[in-house]
Every structure is written in structure tokens, then in C-alpha cells.
Structure 1
Amino acid sequence: MIKAATIRKPAVSHIQRKLIPSYIFLTIMSILSVFPLYWMFTAATNTSLEVAQGKVWFGNYLAENYKNLIDQQNLWQAMGNSFFYAIVQTLATLLICSLAGYGFELYHDRGKDRLFAILLLAMMVPQVATLIPLFTMISQMKLLNSVLAFIIPGLATPFMIMMFRQNSRNFPMDTMEAARIDGLSEIGIFFRMYIPMMKATYAASAVIIFMNSWNAYMWPRTVMKGNAVQTMPMLIANMSNGYAVDYGMLMLGVLFCSLPTIIVFFVLQKQFAEGITGSVK
């Protein structure tokens, strides 16, 4: 037994030595990935001159930057608008895309695969190509500067429908058949059985939709006019315009804009990983 133990030990240490370059590489890449976030935090506490000079440690100018930001920009109004638009967009898109994915996968029809293939072709069309037609449609419907103008283009995205359809393949058909025998309606099956069992997929989709809605700039910039309806990305863009940019205040605004998505991702990261891999509970 002693001899066997002495034989195994060098093998384990040899494997560990082979992994050292991988650990070093991963450590360096992690530092490079985290550094921009660290610099954003430190820049928010420094003056504009210190940021421009490349100072990378914390300063004592955070309170002054916050005061300037509140005095010069409609920070909390923009934060409220972004939260409202993103939450409404997330809830509406989850409902519509999950219904579409549920129907495409669990109901059988000869033409559904052709329809789904046509739907996927929309993923190849860039957003800028549809910007003018969408703006014309929203303008003619007199929906400019409204929450409907913000959410309508993203209510049914092909990627979200495809994600729900793929993950719906793990939904047990026996459960659906048993529910039908018990007299549960199709809508009841969706709301009372499908949604609870697919909660990991819903969580992953909610993270993606919320982040995309929160960070959206081009479309809100097109249909939202005026400070009363501007979102956080629009506010950040306005702060960076002009001849003299206060980089300390700007980075504090970027920090406020980034925190909600960071918090949402870290809170739902476990469910996000399960949903991306197609887990069903």
C-alpha cells in the first residue's frame, strides 16, 4: 500500500504542474476582464483631469461628481424611465415569445416548420434596415414618446422564440396529456404547468431581454424626444456631447447605468445558466 501511494503522488503533481500555465492564463484574462469595471468605479471618484491623466486608484471626488450629476442631468427621471420601459418590455416579450415557442414545439402542424424557417430569416435582417419603416409606422400610429413605441419592435424576437421552442422539447408530453384528461384547458396547461416547469428558461430569457432593453439606444433615440422620456443610455450620450466633457461625472453616470444590469445578472446567474442549457424543473 505504501509503495502504491508513492507511485501515485508524482503522477498527481505532474498533472498539477501541467495546469499551471492554464491557471496563469486564466488569471491574466480575468484581470483584463475585470479591469474596465474597476476603472469605471475608480474614475467615478476622481476629477475630470485625473481621469484624463489615467489615474487608476480611488479618489475623494465622488460626492462632488454626484452633486454635479444631479444638478446638470435628470438622473433619477432617466433611471425611472429605463426601469419602467425595461420591465414592461421584459414581461410582454416573455409572454408573447414563450407562447410562440410553446405553440411551435408542442402543437403539430405541417406548415409550422416552414413558418418557423421564415421567422428565423428575420434574424438575418439588421436593425438599421428596419429603422425607417418602423419609425414611419409608429409615427402614423401616433405612438411617439410612449412606452408602446419603445416595446413594439422587440415584442416577438426570433431569437427568444427559438430559445423557448428549443427548451420546450424538454417539456414532458405525458404531463400535457394527463392534464388534458383531467379537463385542464390549453391556456390552463400553459399558465399552470408549462410556466412553472420552464422557470429556468424564463429566468435566462428575462436576463437577456432586460439587458437588451436597458442598454437600447438607437431605437429609443429615434422615437423618444425630450428629456422627460429619455433613458439612461440617452442621458449618457448627452453627457458625452459638447466641447468640455466632465469625465468624472460621466463615469459616475456610466456606473449608475451599469449597476442594474450587473445586479440582475448576479442575482439570476444560476437560473441563467440552467435556462441556457435547457434545464426543466
Structure 2
Amino acid sequence: MIYSKKRSSKIGLYCLLIAGVFLSIAPFYWMLVGSTLPSGEIFRLPPKLLPGDYLVKNLHSLNESLGFAKIFWNSLFIALVYTLVSTLISSMAGYAFAKFNFKGKNLFFFIILCTLMIPSQVTLIPLFEMMVTFNWLNTYQAIILPTLASPFAIYLMRQNMKSVPDSIIEASRVDGAGELKIFFTVILPVTRPAMAAVAIFLFMSQWNSLLWPLITLNSEEMFTLPVALSSLIGMARIDYGQLMLGTALSTVPIMVFFLLLQKHFISGILGGAVKE
């Protein structure tokens, strides 16, 4: 009787989880199907659940409307450069806060954590004025540079690097290694999972960024994907086929990036739970 109850509860749990999976996948499937249909058929009732034959036409129209290849390259270049540089900066800052003792260390780290509570909208006007002063409007550096030092990434790297034994660092110093050599040859290999988690977080935040690029970029050839896709939503007519296809294509780099680093992701996140 007890076995039967346990089995019934397991079956119920599995059914609930399967239903949750279908609910999670349904919007993505509908997006993929919609990208193969003309705009007029996407919202028809009953809905069409199988892919159509309008994919090539939608791709051609999307490229004509946006210059999709150039837009895609803009987003990919900005996201990759930002991720690489920001991950390196965050790792260096995390290493300094975790393993060095200097005057005001705790105060500086407290200030960094406090910036997490400041809404990003508050900094838009000062940053925009800076970009105008530097004559950086409508450039790559205007998108990449302002947020290179991510407080969350610094915090996560600091917490992970606190778990690295001090004895390893001291042994490297005794062997005559400089601080940069210790950082690149000792610290980074040990904290690779944390760096992967930070890289995924930074890549996704930059790839999906809309507000700041929308303010900073003013020519279509410099648009990123979120800005370009938002321009497809006009007041008179919206081609949902193009919009669905563009959105579907924009998810591909995120999925690829995550799949490449997924084996390090969970351990990197858990590594940030080091007790003080």
C-alpha cells in the first residue's frame, strides 16, 4: 500500500514536470513555427502548429528591412569583446579583493556592492553627456566601455577566489613568480568554472541590452539586434513573420555560448557560496 502511494506520487510529480517542460518549450516552438509563416497566418484560429514554407521569404525580407548580417555582426562583436574584457577586469578585481590587503579594501568593496542597488536608469543622463563630450556617440566603445566593471561579476569572482588556498600563491611567490604570472598561470586555471559563469552572465546581459544602445546609436548600420528588432514594430503594420525569425536567430548565439560553457556553469555559481 505504501509502495503504491509512493509510486502514485512519483507519477504525479513526473506528470507535473512534463507539463512544466511543455509550457516552457511552447513559446519557443511557436516562435520557430511563426518564423516560417507569413504574418497573416501566425495569429489565425485555430493556430497552425506545423512549420510552413515561408522561411526563405521571411529571411529575405528581414535582410532587406534591416541588413541583418551587419546587425548580427554588430551584436556579436560588441558582446564578445565586452565579455572577454569585462571577465578579465572582474577577475583581476576579484583577485585583488580576495587575496590582497590594502587600506580601504572593505570600504571599496562595500561601495561596489552598493552600486548594485542603484537603478541603471539613474546613470543614463550622465553617461550620455560623457559620450557626447568624448564624441563617442554611435560607436562601439560607447556600448562596451561604460559597464565593463560589473559589480556582480566582481563579487562572484571575489567569492570564488577566496576559496583558493593562500599556500599556493605563497609557494609561487617563493619560486620567484610575479603577481601577473601568478594570476594568469595559477589563479585563472583554478577559477575557470567561475569565469565561465561570469562570462555567460555578461554575454547575455550585453547581447540582450536594449535601452543604452537605443539611446547611444543613431544610425541603422550601427544598430544591435535588440534595437533593430524593436524598429520592426511600427505604428501602422508589424510583419510578425520577420519579427519571429529575427528573434529566433538572435537566440542562437546565446544557446551556443551557454552550451560551450555549461559544464563549468553550475560549479562556478556554487563556488560563489564561500562563507566569509
TM range (shorter): over 0.9
Q: Which residue of 1 aligns with 2:136?
A: 143
1:52 is displaced (CA, Å) by 2.2
SS of alignment partner, residue 155 of structure 1: coil
Alignment of 1:231-270 (within 5 A): 231-270=224-263
Q: Which residue of 2 aligns with 1:187?
A: 180
- 1:70 paired with 2:63, answer yes
Distance in 2 (alpha carbons) for counterparts of 1:84 and 1:262: 16
Q: Which residue of 2 aligns with 1:83?
A: 76
Q: Which residue of 2 aligns with 1:216?
A: 209
TM-score normalised according to structure 2 size: 0.94
1:12 is displaced (CA, Å) by 5.1
Distance 1:268 1:12, change over 3 A: farther
Distance in 1 (alpha carbons) for counterparts of 2:242 and 2:103: 58
Distance in 2 (alpha carbons) for counterparts of 1:63 and 1:146: 32
Structure 2: gaps (5+ residues): none
Distance in 2 (alpha carbons) for counterparts of 1:168 and 1:22: 39
SS of alignment partner, residue 177 of structure 2: coil
Q: Which residue of 2 aligns with 1:44?
A: 35
1:154 maps to which of 125, 131, 147? 147
Larger Rg: 1
Amino acid at match of 1:122: T
Alignment of 1:49-128 (within 5 A): 49-53=40-44, 54-109=47-102, 111-128=104-121
SS of alignment partner, residue 52 of structure 2: coil
1:185-221 deviations in Å (ceiling 9; x for gaps): 0111001111111111111111111111111110011
1:18 is displaced (CA, Å) by 2.2
1:253 is displaced (CA, Å) by 0.8
- 1:32 paired with 2:50, answer no
Amino acid at match of 2:135: K
Q: Which residue of 2 aligns with 1:17?
A: 8
Distance in 2 (alpha carbons) for counterparts of 1:32 and 1:191: 44
SS of alignment partner, residue 146 of structure 2: helix
Distance in 2 (alpha carbons) for counterparts of 1:68 and 1:147: 27
Are the equivalent residues in 2 in contact too, given 1:239–1:250 (CA < 8 A)? yes
Q: Greater shift after overlay, 96-105 or 256-265? A: 256-265
Distance in 2 (alpha carbons) for counterparts of 1:90 and 1:221: 20
2:161 maps to which of 168, 182, 185? 168
SS of alignment partner, residue 256 of structure 2: helix
Amino acid at match of 1:256: L
TM-score normalised according to structure 1 size: 0.92
1:15 is displaced (CA, Å) by 2.8
Distance in 2 (alpha carbons) for counterparts of 1:112 and 1:20: 54
Distance in 2 (alpha carbons) for counterparts of 1:182 and 1:140: 48
Q: Which residue of 1 aligns with 2:192?
A: 199
SS of alignment partner, residue 145 of structure 2: helix
Are the equivalent residues in 2 in contact too, given 1:52–1:247 (CA < 8 A)? no
Distance in 2 (alpha carbons) for counterparts of 1:172 and 1:50: 61
Q: Percent identity?
A: 36
Q: Which residue of 2 aligns with 1:4?
A: none
Aligned residues: 270
1:39-66 deviations in Å (ceiling 9; x for gaps): 1110001111111214332111111111
